[in-house]
C-alpha cells in the first residue's frame, strides 16, 4: 500500500511539472520571438525496497516551430522565416535569440530591446552612417537587409547578420524568455538558415487553445490523483487501527 502512495505522489509531481511548463508558455503568449517548451517523458528504473520500479520522468525541450511573422514597416525589425537564431552580445556573454526587434543606440550600434549588441560577421554591427541626414548624392540614407542577412547602406555592403542553427534543440539552455545559450559553440552551424525578413518580427509560437486544454486536463488528473491518495491513506489508516487491536 505504501508503494501505491509513492506511485500516486510521483504522478502528482509529474502533473505539477507539466502544469508549470504550460503556465510558462501561456505567460509568454505575447512575447516576440518566444519559443515555448514542450514536455516529454523518459522511462527510468529505480530500486525501492529491493524492488525495481519503472517510472516516467518529465523532461522539457524547446519547441522550435515557426511563429507568425508580423509586419511592422520598421527598417530595423528583422525576423527569420525558417531555422536559425540571431547572435547578440549581452554584457560579456553571447546569446541566441529569435527576437529581432532591433534599433540603433547612441553610438550607432544595432541593439535589441535589452541593449545587447547584434553580432555580424565582423563583430558588433555599427551603422553610424545612418546618423547622417543625407548620403553623398544628397538623398536620404537607405538601410537594406537582404534575405541572406547581408546589410547594405545605400546599396553598399557593410556587414552580415550572424545567424546560426542548432541540429538538436536539447542543447539549448533557456536564459529568460527570449535568450538561449549552448555549452559548446561547436554545436552551432550556419548551414540551412532561413530567410531574413526586413520590416517584420516573429510572434511567439505558443498555441493558446492547446495550452489551455492541457492545463484543464492536468488539473483534472491532479485532482483525481489527490482523491486516490486520500482513499489509499484512509485504507492504510484502517489497516493500522485494526492491527493495533490485535
Strands (E), the chain: 37-48, 51-62, 69-71, 78-81, 85-90, 93-97, 103-104, 110-111, 117-120, 123-124, 143-145, 150-153, 156-160, 163-166, 173-175, 179-181, 188-189, 195-198, 200-202
Distance CA 180, CA 153 (A): 30
Q: Is the CB of residue 210 less than 8 Å from the CB of residue 65?
A: no
Distance CA 8, CA 23 (A): 22
Q: Which is nearest to 89 in space by CA: 113, 118, 112?
A: 118
Q: Which is nearest to 116 in space by CA: 130, 98, 102?
A: 102
DSSP assignment of 154-169, as one string?
TTEEEEEB-EEEES-G
Q: Which pTM does this prediction carry?
A: 0.78
- Contact residues for 246 (Cβ-Cβ < 8 A; gap 6+): none
Residue 84, classified by CB atoms within 10 Å of its CB into exposed (0-12), middle (13-18) or buried (19+), is: buried
Q: What angle do CA 217, 220, 221 make, to 5 degrees?
A: 85
Please report the pLDDT score of residue 10 as a whole number. 67
185: how many CB neighbours lie within 10 A of its CB?
A: 8
Q: Mind spelling out the 3-state secondary structure of 118-151?
A: EEECCEECECHHHHCCECCCCCECCEEECCCCEE
Please report the pLDDT score of residue 242 as a whole number. 60
C-alpha grid cell for residue 234? 484512509
pLDDT tens digits for the chain (246 residues)? 456 656 666 666 777 778 888 889 999 999 999 999 987 767 667 776 676 766 666 677 899 999 999 999 999 999 999 999 999 999 889 999 999 999 999 999 999 999 999 999 999 999 987 776 666 666 778 899 999 999 999 889 999 999 999 988 889 999 999 999 999 888 899 988 999 999 999 999 998 888 888 878 877 766 776 676 677 656 666 656 665 555
Distance CA 102, CA 88 (A): 11
Q: Is the CB of residue 105 less than 8 Å from the CB of residue 136?
A: no
Please report the pLDDT score of residue 212 as a whole number. 81
156: how many CB neighbours lie within 10 A of its CB?
A: 10
Amino acid at each position: 500500500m505504501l508503494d501505491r502512495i509513492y506511485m500516486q505522489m510521483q504522478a502528482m509531481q509529474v502533473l505539477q511539472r507539466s502544469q508549470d511548463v504550460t503556465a510558462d508558455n501561456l505567460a509568454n503568449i505575447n512575447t516576440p520571438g518566444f519559443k515555448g517548451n514542450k514536455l516529454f517523458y523518459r522511462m527510468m528504473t529505480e530500486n525501492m525496497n529491493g524492488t525495481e520500479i519503472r517510472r516516467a520522468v518529465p523532461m522539457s525541450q524547446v519547441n522550435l516551430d515557426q511563429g507568425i511573422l508580423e509586419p511592422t514597416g520598421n527598417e530595423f525589425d528583422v525576423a527569420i522565416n525558417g531555422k536559425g537564431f540571431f547572435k547578440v552580445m549581452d554584457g560579456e556573454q553571447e546569446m541566441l535569440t529569435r527576437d529581432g526587434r532591433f534599433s540603433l543606440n547612441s553610438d550607432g550600434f544595432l541593439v535589441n530591446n535589452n541593449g545587447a549588441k547584434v553580432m555580424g560577421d565582423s563583430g558588433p554591427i555599427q551603422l553610424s552612417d545612418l546618423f547622417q541626414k543625407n548620403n553623398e548624392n544628397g538623398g536620404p540614407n537607405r538601410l537594406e537587409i537582404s534575405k541572406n542577412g547581408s546589410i547594405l547602406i545605400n546599396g553598399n555592403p557593410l556587414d552580415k547578420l550572424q545567424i546560426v542553427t542548432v541540429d538538436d534543440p536539447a542543447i539549448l539552455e533557456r536564459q529568460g524568455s527570449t535568450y538561449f545559450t549552448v555549452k559548446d559553440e561547436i554545436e552551432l552551424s550556419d548551414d540551412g538558415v532561413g530567410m531574413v525578413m526586413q520590416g517584420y518580427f516573429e510572434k511567439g509560437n505558443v498555441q493558446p487553445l492547446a495550452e489551455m486544454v492541457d492545463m484543464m486536463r492536468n488539473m483534472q488528473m491532479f485532482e483525481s490523483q489527490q482523491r486516490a491518495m486520500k482513499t489509499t491513506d484512509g485504507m492504510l489508516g484502517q489497516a493500522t487501527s485494526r492491527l493495533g487491536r490485535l
